[in-house]
Amino acid sequence: MARQRKVIITCAVTGAIHTPSMSPYLPVTPKEIEDAAVEAVQAGAAIVHLHARNPGNGRPTQDPNFFREFVGNIKARCDGVINITTGGSPVMTVEERLRPAIELKPEVASLNMGSMNFGLYPLLGRFAEFEHEWEPQYLESTRDTVFKNTFRDIEYILKHCSENGTRFEFECYDTAHLYNLAHFLDRGLVKAPLFVQTVFGILGGIGTHPDDVAHMKRTADRLFGKDYVWSVLGAGRAQMPVAAISAANGGNVRVGLEDSLWDGPGQLAQKNADQVLRVRKILEGLSLAIATPGEARDMLDLKGGHNVGF
């Protein structure tokens, strides 16, 4: 009998896209982020992808001290793989974005694989009021924002994090980003197995049509062969449909309130774990098994939670 395929679920807990006024359930304080991450692992996520926020105003921050308020507690309470962002926010410098990963030396860090227009401004029309002045200003600014991830920036992150044994979640928002990753693979700056997170539905990147998902997978297959682990992130309402397409075609999935605030049409997700449980139903309906954190570590060749800096 064939062995049941194991699927890695990543949960992105809070992110920098959504603002506190968009959902009362978005984790903001260190304790909220900690609890959300632990609950997601308990629900079946093998990896938790983490941003930090200033609890006073909900603004995204890359100050490592804010991360320290929850990463150690998450590690103590569960066995989930901790993945720290180097994306931060499109308005931050690469040096600022990298600080938490450099100081905390996680098993995994995210890495955006190319510069792009990053349009969040359409969200302005979906919310009547904002609690903090910075929220509408930030969203409006993305009308003229290029999320800068130059070859120099990517090389800077690769060299600094690789010295700590940190591996990467390579976030690819369009086909060119896959070719950028292949460039760094050819130069020997990254090594297999590559954890490739193809991202669908961000304005400025590739769309969410099934043909878009298939195109990204075909391109990654051609460039990386058996040397990569494929996962998908569908933004907003595309979260579960894109996850289902990936799962049915041999991939892994990412969910969480960073990527979508919803748990079904018109229903806000009250917890990150809600989305983990929903995608589990899809996976288990396809007769797929859920990878444990330990199995994810083996699949991605990670250094282990005992080798981090927190």
- pLDDT tens digits, 104-120: 999 999 999 999 999 99
Domain housing 288:
8-304
- Cα–Cα distance, 132 to 127 (Å, whole number): 13
249 lies in some domain: yes
pTM tops 0.75, yes or no: yes
Q: Domain total for the chain?
A: 1
> What is the full DSSP assignment across 118-130?
-B-GGGGGG-S--
pLDDT tens for each residue of 144-202: 999 999 999 999 999 999 889 999 999 999 999 999 999 999 999 999 999 999 999 99
pLDDT tens for each residue of 61-103: 999 999 999 999 999 999 999 999 999 999 899 999 999 999 9
285 lies in some domain: yes
User: Averaged over 284-293, what is the pLDDT?
Assistant: 97
2 lies in some domain: no
Cα dihedral value 239, 240, 245, 248, nearest 10: 140
14 lies in some domain: yes
3 lies in some domain: no
Check which CATH number belongs to the domain holding 181 and give it: 3.20.20.70
309 lies in some domain: no
199 neighbors 173 (Cβ within 8 angstroms): yes
103 lies in some domain: yes
Per-residue model confidence (pLDDT) at position 25: 98
Nearest to 198 by CA among 219, 225, 222, 226: 219
Mode of pairing for the β-strands spanning 47-50 and 60-61:
unpaired
Confidence of residue 139 (pLDDT cuts 50, 70, 90): very high
pLDDT at 1 over 60: no
pLDDT tens for each residue of 252-267: 999 999 999 999 899 9
192 lies in some domain: yes
